Amino acid sequence: MPPSRNRVLGVMVALSLAGAATARAETAAVRALTLKNGLKVLFEEDHRRPRVAVSIAYGAGLRDEPRGYGGLAHLTEHLMFAGSRNVGRGNFLRSLARAGATAWQGQVDPDAAVYYEEVPARSLSTALWLESDRMAFLLDTLNDELVDREVKIVQNERLEKFADSQWSSRDAIVSHMLFPEGHPYHGIGENLELDGVELRHVQWFFQTHYRPDNATLAIVGDFVPSDAEDLVRRYFEAVVSAGRAAVRSAPPVVRLNAERSAVVRQRVRYEGVVFAWPGPAESDPGSAALDLMATCLAGRGSALQRALVTRGSSALNLRARRWTLANQSLFVLEALASYEVDIDGIRRTLDSAVAELRSDVVKYCGIDTVRAATRAAFLESMDHYAARARYLAKTGHSIGDRLARLETLSTTDVEDAARQYLADSHRLVVDLRWQSSEWGTFEVSGD
Amino acid sequence: MTSGHASRPILVLLLALAGMGCSGRADLPPPIVPLSPTENAAFRSSPPLISPPPTPTFPDVHAFALENGLCGYVVPLRGSPIVGVRYVTRRLRDADVNTTELADAAARLVVEPRVRRPFGLFYLVSNAGVVFSSDTTAEHLAGVLRTLRISLVSQKFDAEDFPGTRDLLRRWLRGLNTNAAFRANAESWRALFGPEYPLAATADERASRIERWTSAGFDDAFGRIFGPRDSAIVIAGDVDVDAAESAIRKEFGTWKDSGERPPQEIPTGAHRGKPVRVFDMPWNQVVVDAAALAPREGSKDQVPFQLLSYILAGSLDSRLAHALRESSGHGYTVRGHYDAVAGAWMFTTSVDPFAVQESVEALESELTRLLRDAPSPDELERARTESLEGLAARLEAPDTLATSLAELYMIGRGPERWAELDRLIRSATSADVARVARRYFGESRAIVTVVGPMSTIAAQLQWSKYPVEYVAGD
């Protein structure tokens, strides 16, 4: 079909507004290096801004917590900011501030603990000094008192995040329901079992997982490649770990053969509905198709947004997302009900939208617009160096790989993915309902 | 103290879930000695040398005005795939509370499309104005401008969307009515500026007002809230400056101002009540907020206060973060915010319900210490570096640069303010910071607002050396 006149005009206007410089830095080449101690290092040059971001991902996620130690990965992440032998206790953030850091963070997800900081380009050596010192010498400054205090902070963090709504625990509920007992993702993040956790437990966890051969370092931004490599070798090459690393195998992939559902009753402010489907790994083309379908179902202007939120006002919030795990993903569609709105109607609306999408995804979604929206949103989210470094350290891939998967996706790929992954018989449905008692209940049905 | 957490309702579900699968705790082997076998080379013993922040490169801003009063700013940033677009209006500055809330509904209608768009559009309503923002790839720039024109100039909305939006806001606020953090924030604003201040209304008060809105009232307000006068369009990114200006003129040149501006009355801040006020509300933690009057934008005290705010509560290495989190573990979020538009300093934390007394004492003690101990040279330099680097970083990327220009416009400033701020931050002294500390935290002390279960709080605060006012639940 030839493009309409309006579309041609739109393209002309867009081209005329674009700047003279034609080479916009959407992606850049990534150079990889592995040090003798096993540390993987990835470099991505980008000279648009005089800044550099450093990120390290350790294979030290929630799935690595031993039985009965829920929260230990999160506690260790907090303690990583305590200051190491040469940096000094309490001096980590102080040193980052002196270096002019404009962003820093530590995050733990099911598969990894990821740290990053963005500093002026002139402070790259400080960022590497800080990261290498806590990789090599964190345990020298920790003591019982520090661990006890940080346990309290983590417990307060949990209370604060769950204060307004049990909604915050939905990922834990989904993983509890989808993954069988004994699976590394079963009930991930649901238990905070830090009472009685001692310094020696943190020491064990750190020695087992915070090792150069279990980490990826990414550097993104304005640096001279040879200088950056020299600095990396200077600070990291001599780092050695105590003992041997734990054997870390990829968790088994889980699929559902029949619909599974649960009703969770709790004293929540807002009720909600969550649908979740097991999906493919990040590198599978199907993952890009699911990204498109997430935009299609819950992006701004979608039929579902208008039916439930904008016009219908029965839901406060509608989201669809792909939750990426090590070797599979979960496609999650969730609606948070408005105050005093029953969720049965919301569930029915979600049901019919997914059925409509599945029956004719090309017509329902408008693939070109959804692809453009997904691409633009992803590029926007990766424009700052810190975000790109974190993505690179965590996935080991440039954002170009993900963009390429999105670009090359055919309508047949999307249709196949909708049928393959979003079937009712492959999904989990969770109703989150209010009850006055403070004691929660959990009713499960299905296979 | 920590064992008390287990009985709180919010964790009950988690414990119920835990009971389904968790049984006991694994035995972990002892750690290996030496704990850190890496050789500690001499070069690690001291941090690499860091040079002080250089003067940033201030971007080249192309500014112009349309005949209808609308201002335009275009900033070329070569090489970026992202373009930042903002529409900003300062017509809400010190507007009455109902107009501010109508602006919230109107903005929501603008950003919620009837058809799918390939770019996101977001909004922020503050006590000064409204900003619409879109950070997207360059090929969508024309679409963003066209969408803003259709929404703002042509006011094309689906009539049926207004009741839905009104209902959504009302329901959202009704749900927030028992949110302790929201209540504490509103009470802090109320204490500083009185009950008529837009941010001082409780969730219930706001929801009740929204229920009385009509379609006709909304249409009338829309024209007063949005218009070309006292408004600007900002574009930052890899764009052709002339073409971008032409596009702004084409889309917005025919826009006529259709209504009078909302009333402009600058509220006078006044502390009311006792220094510590307690509000009763069931909650898992206790919210402890503090608020103080602060210099408004343009005051000679502004930059020293900005540095003071950073030293006091601007990072996890700040004085209040040490007192309430790092050395005690009482809270998790410990955050201060200086709002130069309103002229207010706001602080919030949520603490363990059994640590209220210690937390309030620690907070008061740090505020008192602020008057006694001027910032150390190291504290001041860290605050200065953070401010300078933060300013420089904002000027480098399309999204942050567009936001910075929009914020400056909202307070009646232009891009020349960047260089001025850079100079003022570099020249501020410890004596300047100590002076503003005495002025804003001295005789008129900060007000502390505590929200949580009254009986738990009262049992602890009965020995407080500060006068406490207890306010019964609604």
Which one has a higher pLDDT value, B397 or B94? B397
Instruction: Tell me the percentage of chain A whose pLDDT exceeds 70.
Output: 89
pTM of the entire structure? 0.92
Contact list in A for residue B283 (CB cut-off 8 A) is: 163
What's the whole-number mean pLDDT along residues B374-390? 96
Q: Which of B16, B44, B175 sits opposite A339 (nearest CB)?
A: B175
Beta bridge partners of A217: A41, A56
CB pairs under 8 A between A and B: 371
Sign of the dihedral defined by the CA atoms of residues B385, B390, B395, B397, in that order: positive
What local confidence, expressed as pLDDT, does residue B5 receive? 29
Stronger pLDDT, B115 or B3, i.e. the higher one: B115
Say what the pLDDT of residue A6 is. 38
The whole-angstrom distance between A279's CA and the closest CA on chain B is 24
Contacts of A406 in chain B (CB under 8 A): none
Angle between helices A411-421 and A343-359 (to 10 degrees): 140
pLDDT per position as a tens digit, A384-406: 999 999 999 999 999 999 999 99
pLDDT band for A36, please (50, 70, 90 cuts): very high
| Predicted pLDDT at B366 | 93
Contact B50 A126 (CB under 8 A): yes
**Per-residue pLDDT band at A210 (split at 50, 70, 90):** very high
Question: Residue B176: its pLDDT value, please?
Answer: 83
Residue A221: how many other CB atoms lie within 10 Å = 27
Q: Is A411 helix (H, G, I), strand (E, B) or coil?
A: helix
CB contact under 8 A, A120 and B389: yes
pLDDT attached to residue A433: 85
> Model confidence at B332, in pLDDT bands (50, 70, 90)?
very high
* Interface probe, candidates A7, A129, A156, chain B, greatest B C-beta count within 10 A: A156
Shortest CA gap A360–chain B (Å): 17
pLDDT reading at A205 higher than 70? yes
- pLDDT for the residue A432: 87
Predicted pLDDT of residue B212: 87
Which chain A residues are Cβ-neighbours of B32 within 8 angstroms?
Answer: 207, 242-243
Name the residue with higher pLDDT: B465 or B139: B139
CA B145 to chain CA mean position, Å: 26
- Across the interface, whether the CB atoms of A66 and B22 are under 8 A apart is answered no
| 8 Å CB contact between A92 and B315 | no
Using only C-alpha atoms, what is the Rg of chain B? 25
Please give the Cα distance from B95 to B74 (Å, whole number).
Answer: 29
User: Do residue A169 and residue B316 have CB atoms under 8 angstroms apart?
Assistant: no
Q: Say yes or no to pLDDT of A359 above 90.
A: yes
Question: Is the per-residue pLDDT at A212 higher than 80?
Answer: yes
What pLDDT score does B234 carry? 98
Element (H, E) at A220: strand A215-221
Q: Give the percent of chain B with pLDDT over 90.
A: 62
According to the model, what pLDDT value does residue B15 have? 40
pLDDT, position B112: 79
3-class DSSP state of B83: strand
Q: With the C-alpha atoms ordered A301, A306, A310, A311, is the resulting torsion angle positive or negative?
A: positive
Residue B322 to residue B338: CA distance in whole angstroms? 19
Residue of higher predicted confidence among B1 and B149: B149
Gap between the Cα atoms of B76 and B398, Å rounded: 9
Find the distance separating the first CA and the last CA of chain B, reported in whole Å. Answer: 30
Secondary structure (3-state) at B470: strand
Find the mean pLDDT for residues B454-464: 89
Identify the CA nearest to A273 among candidates A203, A329, A204, A344.
A344
Query: Chain A residue with minimal CA distance to B287?
Result: A160
- pLDDT for A111 equals 96
Instruction: Give which of B17, B157, B286, B385 to mutate to test A binding, by max A Cβ within 10 Å.
Output: B17
β-pair partners for A320: A333
Position B442 scores a pLDDT of: 86
**Bridge-based pairing state of the strands A428-434 and A272-279:** antiparallel
The closest of B226, B103, B245, B261 to B169, measured between CA atoms, is B103
What angle separates helix B203-211 from helix B97-111, to the nearest 10 degrees?
Answer: 70
Cβ atoms of B227 and B124 closer than 8 Å: no
B25-28 long-range contacts (CB < 8 A, ≥24 apart) are B25/A66, B25/A67, B25/A68, B25/A69, B25/A193, B25/A196, B26/A66, B26/A67, B26/A68, B26/A69, B28/A66, B28/A69, B28/A200, B28/A201, B28/A204
Q: Is the pLDDT of residue A75 over 60?
A: yes
Q: Which residues is B290 bridged to in the sheet? A: B347, B448
What average pLDDT does this structure show over B154-164? 75
Q: What is residue A58's predicted lDDT score, i.e. its pLDDT?
A: 98
Which candidate in B15, B27, B28 is best for mutational testing of the A interface (most A CBs within 10 A)?
B28
Given a cut of 70, is residue A407 above it in pLDDT?
yes
**Is residue B127 within 8 Å of residue B100, measured between CB atoms?**
yes
Instruction: Summarize pLDDT for A254-266 with one digit per residue, the tens.
Output: 999 999 999 988 7
Of the candidate ranges A6-20, A152-166, A305-319, B176-190, the one whose mean pLDDT is the lowest: A6-20
Burial string for B311-345 (b: 16+ CB within 10 Å, else e) reads: bbbbbbbbbbbbbbbbebbbbbbbbbebbbbbbbb
Cis bond upstream, residue B267 (ω within 30): no
Confidence of residue A80 (pLDDT cuts 50, 70, 90): very high
pLDDT of residue B133 exceeding 90: yes
Distance CA A275, CA B35 (A): 45
pLDDT at position B145: 97
Shortest CA distance to A81 belongs to which of B40, B53, B32, B315? B315
Neighbours of B428 (CB within 10 A): 21
Say yes or no to pLDDT of A5 above 70.
no
Q: Kindly tell me if the per-residue pLDDT of A16 is higher than 60.
A: no
Instruction: Answer whether A339 sits within 8 Å of B174, measured CB to CB.
Output: yes
Place A424 in a pLDDT band, splitting at 50, 70 and 90: very high
Overall residue count recorded for chain A in this entry: 447
Encoded amino acid at B378, one letter: D
Mean per-residue pLDDT of chain B: 88
Asked if residue A437 has pLDDT above 70, the reply is: no
Residue A17 has pLDDT above 90, yes or no: no
Please report residues of A whose CB lies closer than 8 A to that of B24: 67-68
Which pLDDT score, from 0 to 100, does residue A11 have? 37
Question: How many Å apart are CA B396 and CA B360, to the nearest integer?
Answer: 40
| Per-residue model confidence as pLDDT tens digits over B342-376 | 899 999 999 999 999 999 999 999 999 999 999 99
Q: Is A249 exposed, middle or buried (0-12, 13-18, 19+ CB in 10 A)?
A: exposed
Q: What element of type H or E holds A413?
A: helix A411-421
Residue B167: the pLDDT is 86
Instruction: List the end-to-end C-alpha distance of chain A, in Å, as a whole number.
Output: 47
- Is pLDDT larger for residue A228 or for residue B297? A228
Q: pLDDT confidence of A8, banded at 50, 70, 90?
A: very low
Q: What is the mean pLDDT of chain A?
A: 89
Q: pLDDT tens, B285-328?
A: 999 999 999 999 889 999 999 999 999 999 999 999 999 999 99
Both structure tokens of B394: 């904002």
Structure tokens at B474: 């609604």
Q: Give the pLDDT mean for B14-43.
A: 76
- Chain A residues within an 8 Å CB radius of B3: 195
DSSP H/E element including B84 = strand B82-89
Measure A324 CA to nearest chain B CA, in Å: 23
What the block records as the tokens of A198 is: 């001692």
